[in-house]
Amino acid sequence: MRLPLPEPTLAGMRCLLRPWELRDAATLVAAWSDPEVRRWLPVPDHADRAAAADWIAGEADRRRAGLALDLVAVEPGRGVLGGPDADPVGRPGNGSDVSGEAGADVLGEVGLSAFDPERGAALIGWWTVHRHRRRGVATEMVRLLTTWALGPPLGLEVLVAEVEPGNPGSLAVALAAGYEEVGRRHDGRLVMAAGTVTGAVIGWGRGV
């Protein structure tokens, strides 16, 4: 299943969501090096620029293979550099942001993975850049991607977030974005779900 990009671009009061571009590599390195991100999310051991560039370059392939859809949040006024056919090596597409600042506009990331076609389910994850926290960015980007993923063309039934009970910020984001607790994983993480058939994800919590 090839995963489509949101079209038109998802945008709210605080951010719009666009694909990763190679110029964002420095931001990704900084995020992977952020102790808070490392504490709560699986990130590469070697968080250097080459690893970040590789990861970004692979984003379109992961989307084409139906593995993951990862987007960055930028300020709404910054515009979109690439659009749906953005070149992962960073050449400008049809958009208007030609600031050239290396990822300086990135506020955070929100992404979907672990697609389960039988259940119509996927896992959602997120982080925000340290200096942009506590401004409602995470809540808005999670809301935007969730609402989009539950409608056409993706049409998922349910989105699942796995949240450590000791991560109050992330728990607050999930709740504010409309997720509710539906179970617990064996490792203690809360299984939070948004969608039409929340009962279907109880098995997710047990099985993973």
Ligand X SMILES: CC(C)(COP(=O)(O)OP(=O)(O)OC[C@H]1O[C@@H](n2cnc3c(N)ncnc32)[C@H](O)[C@@H]1OP(=O)(O)O)[C@@H](O)C(=O)NCCC(=O)NCCS
| DSSP of 143-154 | HHHHHHHTSTTT
Q: Return d(Cα 117, Cα 122) in angstroms, integer.
A: 8
Degrees to nearest 5, angle at CA 196 with 208 and 60:
60
Cβ at position 40, least distance to ligand X in Å: 4
165 binds ligand X (CB under 6 A): no
166 binds ligand X (CB under 6 A): no
Q: Which stretch binds ligand X (CB under 6 A): 128-136, 150-158, 179-187, 197-205?
A: 128-136
41 binds ligand X (CB under 6 A): yes
User: Could you tell me the CA-to-CA distances from 4 to 69, 73, 147 in Å, in that order?
Assistant: 8, 17, 15
9 binds ligand X (CB under 6 A): no
172 binds ligand X (CB under 6 A): yes
169 binds ligand X (CB under 6 A): yes
Q: Return d(Cα 146, Cα 197) in angstroms, integer.
A: 14
Q: Which stretch binds ligand X (CB under 6 A): 19-27, 34-42, 87-95, 115-123?
A: 34-42
Q: Judged by CB under 6 A, which of 9, 27, 170, 198 binds ligand X?
A: 170
32 binds ligand X (CB under 6 A): no
Tokens of 28: 């990704």
Q: What is the dihedral of CA 47, 61, 158, 153, to 10 degrees?
A: 140
Residue 81's Cα: distance from chain center in Å?
18
Q: Return d(Cα 122, Cα 70) in angstroms, integer.
A: 12
Q: Which stretch binds ligand X (CB under 6 A): 60-68, 90-98, 123-131, 180-188?
A: 123-131
Q: Which is nearer to ligand X, 139 or 146 (CB)?
A: 139
Binding positions for ligand X, rule: CB under 6 A: 36-37, 40-41, 126-128, 133-139, 163, 167-170, 172-173, 176
